[in-house]
Every structure is written in structure tokens, then in C-alpha cells.
Structure 1
Amino acid sequence: MDPVRLQGLVKPLLHAVLKKVHPDYFTHHPAAKAANHSAVQRLQGLLTPVLAPGTPTRNRDSAGGPLEFIVRGDGEALQTVAFEFSDWRPRGRAELQAQRAREMLALCSALGTAPGADAAKEIEDAIGQAAQSGPPAWDGAAAARLRAARAREAVQNYKRGQPAADPRAALMAAMRRVAWPPAPGSAKAARPRLDRSKVFFAAEVAPERYTGIAAHIEGLLPELEYGSWCALPMMVVDRWQDALRRGATRYPGFVVVPSDVDANAFRRYLRENLDEIRRERCARNTRHGR
């Protein structure tokens, strides 16, 4: 697939959409103008793999919910047209470009700006084999099923009330079992193990990342001072901002850990919030009779 050719074919589609929904056409309707401004910005971000192939697209090629455009219908009445880009992440950039181009064609049809049959066929020809394979078995429905199953498993594990591992107690017990004292400087620090029955994942974390994130966090447990909070449940979020709602925590009683946790920032978070998290957990357990 030729990305330059595809870029030249998709640009007119974007221009046709902008002619219909550009915020400047809705100056007398502030709410519609604001909605279209937001939707156009997101649309341009989603089309970055096609329109700017060399630009990194981290966190900009995720659909993040449907786009809502305000358009003028019959008699100048305003109406909303919602369109959702797929959250499926292809393995290669060429597959992502093909996916976005096809979705842009579908968006044009939804907005009444579809190109002619010849233009649509030319885009399909430019896409070539990259888009013909389609999404793998791992589609949005499969991700939702796995996320739901993982959530049920986490809830069941947490209800069992298994005691969290105490790394220091385990180390002291092992030392008491040896028949000779270790030579100076020869003792190795015990590596704590993550109690995965107390690990929960927020909705914005992709299920296929669960195992890798848990392994990454487990490798950092000594730096994260796990021994001081291992009895508390952990909520893994994508970013710190995902844990807040109107300035308050969305997960009272949980230790929040971002997927790309930084040890220094996390220790500051513990110093400022650990006592409050414990109080919230105690209050929650009291309400549920635990």
C-alpha cells in the first residue's frame, strides 16, 4: 500500500466533512460550535496515521467513544450525527491506515458527504491487501468479554479475604529455618510477590495489557514500598488523571497505580494518601460486614 497515495485520497474526504461541520459555520449556535470543534479535533487525531504517516500516534489513534457532529438538516434544523471509530488496534501501521481510511468513507456516508463510486473504488485499490485481512479474532466484543471475566475473577478473589503476603515475615521465617547464620554480605534481599487476588484494572486499561502491567509492577515492588500497603487492594489505571473525578478519587479504599508507574512519584503519592486510603478501606469493610 502506498501511504502517500492514500493520504492524497483521504484529504478530500476530510475537506468534504469540514465543509459540513466546521465550527465556524455555527457561530450563532455556541453549543453546536463547541461540540463540532471537539469532534473535529478528535477526527484529525484519528486520521493522523493516514494524513501524517511519519508522526508518532501514541494515545491519538484510540477511538475513545463515538464522535458527535452537529449538522443542519431539513429547514436548517440542527441534528446530531454520531459515528464511532473502531478501538481495534492493528499490529502494523499499514493495517491501521487502511482501517482509518475505510472508517472515513463510512463517516462521509453518515454525514451525507460520501464521494462518488469511482473515488471510493480508488481508495479501496490504494488500500490493497492491508485492509482485506480485517480485524483478528481479538475484536472489541472479545476484549469486552475478557474485561468482564477478569473483573469477575478479581471480585471473587477479593471476597475470599486471603491474607496478603508479608515479605518481611516470610524472610524472617526462612532465616529462622536455616541451621547456620549467613556470612556477612552474602544475604540476598527477599523479592516480594504481588498478591494478584487484590489487583483490579480500571475500564480504560486494555485487557491484553493486564499480564504485562502486572509483571512490570511486580518487578518494582521493593521500590514501591509494597510491604507498607500490601494488605490493601490495588487499582491499576492508565494514567494518574484517570483516577480522579471532579478532583476526588474515583476509587476510595484502593491504592491507585498507573500502568507506567514512576517509583518516586508513587512514593510521594503514598506519603500523602496512604492513611486516608486505609480509613476509606476500613469504612468500606465495616459497611459490608467484613
Structure 2
Amino acid sequence: MDPARLPALAKPLVHAVLRRVHPDYFTHHPAAKAANQAAVQRLQALLAPVLAPPRQAHGPREPLEFVVRDGPGDALRPVSFAFSQRRARTDGEQQAQCARDLLALCRALGAAPAAAAVREIEAAIGQAQSASASASAGGAAARLRAARAREARANYAAGRAAAAAAAAAHAALLDGLRRAAWSPAAKTARPVLDRSRLFFAADVAPQRYADVARRIERQLPALDYARWCTLPVMVVSTWAAALRHGAPRYPGFVLMPCDVDPKEFQRYLRENLDEIQQQRRLRNAAHGVGPA
């Protein structure tokens, strides 16, 4: 049963109701005519969802007061009927609820349709409710997916912003270290570290950069700085961290642990400086750069 047929199935019920209570049938009973006229006007507003979907019902929900002919002769009987007070969440649910109320009104007025017609309209009501429930569930799922997508986009943007901020802070810290003046050579008569050639491996915490740079600067004379002052320096956490399978991780760089010992470093220079210089020349040649 197609729930879209519900308005067509409801119209015969409306006609059955009107045949029982239409004001024109009560011209000889002014009070009954007035009561039915007011009730029918309100009924039309309340039946809007099922007769002209997807309109919402409007008007007061107080009981409708009808007068019908009942019994022998011209006897009249008052009938009070209230539409459901439940607020529907969707148009389909509102339509099904309104059709169910209309069917109950027919029974209350003694204008119930044939059993086959009742079964057909009840089937249409069930289909309309099922479609409404599916649409409601689908809408909730869509809203949940949209909310999750918004959250994912926000988290991604926040992550990108945090990464960019961290990279900028890292770059600013390195730039500050390289630009900082350690001490005027004229006053100290000591060598001055060229911080533009100072680099830090990924395993060295950025919080240690400044302390490590100052420690290196204090020990420059003992570290034979004049021998490697034109080469880039890669600061690593330990000697072991500077190697990968026994080979240097950073060819062409002078390697220096954070807690460098001058004697160990001098031995390292004696054993590796020539090779480092050769590696640097090869790298510079590969990139079209002059000698280091």
C-alpha cells in the first residue's frame, strides 16, 4: 500500500462525516446547525495534514462538539470528539495520526465505512508511519554523520594549526640561536661559534637547544674549532644516535653529542674529519655549490 494514497482514502471518510453533521441538514434545528457549523470549520483545519499534505494542523485542539440525528424520529444526540494531542515529529507521522483520528470520528458519529475500506486505510496509515519512522531515522543518521564530519574537519584544522605553530616556534628558536651573539670577539679573544651552521637532530628536545649551544661555545678552544669551523654541525643526543647500522646518519656533517667530551670529540675528529670534508665536497658538487 502506497502511503501517498492516504489523502484519497481519507476523503470518503470526510464525506461520511459531513453527511452526518453538515449544517445544511439541520435547518430546522438552529442550535444544532450552529454547533455543527462551528465544529465543521474547526474540523477542516484539523484535517489539513491528511487532505493537503505536508501542511500542519492548526487551530485549537479542544474537543469538537457535534450534533447528530440518532434514534427514531428527529431525535438529536450530541457527540464530543477530541483529536489526538500528541505532537507529530514529521509530516508523515502527522498525516497518519490525523487519518487515524478521522477514522475514529467516523465511528463516533455512526458513519463508519465498510470493513474493506477500513482495512485499506489502516494499511495506508501503517505504511505512512513506517515511511515517517525511516525518514526520521535517516535524518538523524545524516545529522550524526554531518556532525562527525564537522568535528573531523575541525580536528584536522586544529591539528594543522598546531603543527604549523610548532614548526614556526621551532624555526624561530633555531633562528634566534643562530642570530644570537655569544660574546664580542674583541672582548673575549675567544673563537665565536657560527650558529648558522649549527643544526639539531630530531631526537634532541628543542628545550635543550640554547643550553647545548652555550656549552659548545664555552668549549670551542678545547674542541679544535678552527679545524671544522667551515663545516655544518649536527648535534645528536648520543654518539650511538648518530649512527645507523654503523654508518653516519648525517654524512657531510660534523657530529657532536649534547654532552660532548672534548677528548672524545678530538679523537672523533682525528678519525673522521677528512672523510666528513670529502662528503661535504661531494654534496656541494652534487648541488652545484662551491667548496664548504
Query: What TM-score do the two structures reach when normalised by structure 2?
Result: 0.42
Structure with greater Cα Rg: 2
Query: What TM-score do the two structures reach when normalised by structure 1?
Result: 0.42
Higher relative helix content: 2
